[in-house]
Amino acid sequence: MFDIAVIGGGVIGATILRELTKFSLKVIMLEKESDVSMGQSRANSGIVHAGYDAIPNTNKAKFNKLGNEMMQDYCYELGVKYVNNGSLVVAYDDEQMKTLYTLLERGKQNQIKDLSIIDKDQLFILEPSLSRNAIGALYAKRGGIVCPYELTIASVGNAMDNGAKLELDFEVDKIIKTQNGYLIQSASGKKVESKMIINCAGYGSQKIANLVGDFSFKIGARRGEYILLDRESGDFVKRTIFATPTKNGKGILITPTVDGNILLGPTAEEIQENNTNTTALGLAKIKTIASSMAEKVPFYNTITSFSGVRAFCDRNDFVIEESKVAKNFINVAGIESPGLTSAPGVAKYVVEELVSKSFELNKNQNFNGVRKPDYFFNRLSIEEKNKIIKENPSYGNIVCRCEKITEGEIIRAVTENPKATTIDAVKRRTRAGMGRCQGGFCQPRVAEIIANVLGVDLKDVTKNGGKSNIIIGRTK
């Protein structure tokens, strides 16, 4: 019997899980996919928003500000890379300039510091790649970037190191109210009992709430497609460039990523179900809009495209509350943008203000919030590298040539919390396969390492769980 079951392994579930382990509570995370961070937290813009954009006095505004302020320290503790690169909302005509002043005003209302309007000349000094049609920008110095799945994985890993349990491939199918709490059943018949449930199932959060008779919110899906450019074009822009929101929508952004790539997107298209396919129209749209925002966008350096699906809520704000129909059932739903930014703040609130109503929060004396500092091996000095190789020679074997990822890091990904068991899970933890050859060179080697460590045959190794096997069998 657990005290709390967190349903959903995205960044919200992950940060809440970790926050819970600061106290003496028995906690478990239930995730329906083969790995954490496979929903929205896998494919989004990775922006830590400054906070001027959210409507004042909403949950979004409150938690955006809180999360933004917490993010630097939060990432540092977990060894996750965070870059405070700043954001620019760029105006290309007078109408848009007016909107910038509206955003500035909204930012003031939200009590966001370090916001200013800059003119054309200042703008081009900061970002020479921008289109010459730009006339000014809102400069938000508190904007930053982070890798959403790195943050999620590190949070879950640290939570597990502090005692939290993780059940993957657990698709919640049925929730039965019991005397002491809830009996949660998976589609495949697994059972978990828990006194309290925190529902942060992203796109699936409506379904989960409905299972306990809570119909207080509806979740819709809005797909966003992206194009990723090679690190070779990594200095195309330094700050995150937003288009000024117009009647036609929010536009796309052009942003560096923490790993030095350039990300273009997202589009925004309402879809009927969770579908992360990219479309020819969507990709073409990104190119058209990006070309209007900046000069000579290096599309020739595209290394991949992908899409994510936002789970938006009919309340148009974060739903962070105890269910009115189910006791000890907390909904944390509709966490679309600025969800990633808000996560550390949301987690703190959920635990300190909501969970505390039902549980005494006794400090976990053994809690260690520090996950080994970021150890992309390639970032270490020669001396540090040689020290590690002496103890563990597998760090001397480069597997992913493009990103310079070693065998040691891949083995660690398969053996350290939360353990990777698929090619993509290894990719998310180590970056092996994310370089310009997109796994052409390293995939067979990564697959072999997974097979060796897990003690399975190569044909049982999958790309992303389920039936995504990469090999069907031996040759003749």
Binding site for another protein (CB under 8 A): 227-228, 276-280, 282-283, 302-306, 382, 385-386, 389-390, 393-394, 396-398, 401-402, 404, 436-441, 443-444, 448, 458-459, 462-476
Are 323 and 317 a contacting pair, CB within 8 Å?
no
Please tell me which residue in 18, 49, 223, 419 is annotated as part of the active site: 49
CA distance 36 to 13: 10
CA distance 259 to 433: 13
β-strands 27-30, 2-7 pairing? parallel
Tell the smallest beta-carbon distance from residue 228 to another protein (Å): 8
Tell the smallest beta-carbon distance from residue 182 to another protein (Å): 30
Nearer to another protein, 141 or 459 (CB): 459
CA distance 298 to 112: 34
Nearer to another protein, 427 or 429 (CB): 427
Nearer to another protein, 42 or 106 (CB): 42
Query: 417: Cβ–Cβ under 8 A, 6 or more apart, which residues?
Result: 156, 157, 158, 160, 161, 166
Torsion of CA 427, 432, 437, 442, to 10 degrees: -110
Q: Dihedrals φ, ψ of 190, to 5°?
A: -70, 150
Tell the smallest beta-carbon distance from residue 345 to another protein (Å): 32
Tell the smallest beta-carbon distance from residue 476 to another protein (Å): 6
Query: 466: Cβ–Cβ under 8 A, 6 or more apart, which residues?
Result: 34
Of 148, 152, 177, 64, give the one whose Cα is nearest residue 111. Answer: 64
Could you write out the DSSP letters of every residue in 368-399?
A: ---------GGGS-HHHHHHHHHH-GGGGSEE
Nearer to another protein, 100 or 449 (CB): 449
β-strands 115-119, 144-146 pairing? unpaired
Of 377, 415, 372, 413, give the one whose Cα is nearest residue 398. Answer: 377
Tell the smallest beta-carbon distance from residue 23 to another protein (Å): 38
CA distance 6 to 69: 25
Tell the smallest beta-carbon distance from residue 169 to another protein (Å): 13
State the DSSP H helix or E strand holding residue 106, giving kind and residue range, or none if neither: helix 94-109
Are 366 and 149 a contacting pair, CB within 8 Å?
no
Exposure on the CB side of residue 392, measured as CA atoms within 13 A:
13
Nearer to another protein, 135 or 380 (CB): 380
Nearer to another protein, 105 or 384 (CB): 384
Tell the smallest beta-carbon distance from residue 337 to another protein (Å): 23
CA distance 92 to 292: 9
Nearer to another protein, 44 or 342 (CB): 44
Tell the smallest beta-carbon distance from residue 278 to another protein (Å): 5
Sign of the four-CA dihedral 256, 138, 41, 274: negative
CA distance 467 to 469: 6
Sign of the four-CA dihedral 311, 260, 283, 293: positive
Tell the smallest beta-carbon distance from residue 305 to another protein (Å): 6
State the DSSP H helix or E strand holding residue 47, giving kind and residue range, or none if neither: strand 47-48
Nearer to another protein, 315 or 459 (CB): 459
Identify whether 49 is a catalytic site residue: yes
Nearer to another protein, 333 or 434 (CB): 434
Could you write out the DSSP letters of every residue in 185-252?
A: EETTS-EEEEEEEEE--GGGHHHHHHHTT--S--EEEEEEEEEEE-GGGTTS-SSEEEEPPBTTB---
Active site residues: 49
